[in-house]
Amino acid sequence: QVQLVESGGGLVQAGGSLRLSCAASGSIFSINAMGWYRRAPGKQRELVAIMTSGGRTNYADSVKGRFTISRDNAKNTVYLQMNSLAPEDTAVYYCNADLFAIGTMGTRAYWGQGTQVTVSF
């Protein structure tokens, strides 16, 4: 069984910073990409940032220059450093990992439970 556990969400004023963490645990053989998505009220889930096992990154245009994704492959953990937060960043943030779990047929996407980020004016 594989679990993704997120932490680090909360309430912050506009212009502030937060750091999200997501640790994957369980019977993991290998992890490919890890990343973050978010769903704002009344909107569809969207990609925020993603990083491959080799270190390549991709960011949503709306967060470029403000958010930074990083990984600790030894700990199966991905981070999202969020700076210069704005009210429009308010959303539930979900961790995602494309991984191969032991005892399964191949790689698939796994999701965390989500962590709320609220940015006030």
- 85 falls in which pLDDT band (50, 70, 90)? very high
Give residue-wise pLDDT tens across range 7-38.
Answer: 999 999 999 999 999 999 999 999 999 999 99
- Between CA 31 and CA 93 the distance in angstroms is 20
pLDDT digits (tens, 9 = 90+) for 34-58: 999 999 999 999 999 999 999 999 9
Residue whose entry in the numeric block shows the structure tokens 């981070």? 79
- Whether the CB-CB separation of 120 and 12 falls below 8 Å is answered with yes
- With contact defined as beta carbons under 8 Å apart, do 73 and 107 qualify? no
Mean pLDDT estimate for the chain: 97
Q: Choose among 77, 84, 91: nearest CA to 21.
A: 77
* Residues of the chain above pLDDT 70, percent: 100
Of 86, 84, 69, nearest to 22 by C-alpha is: 69
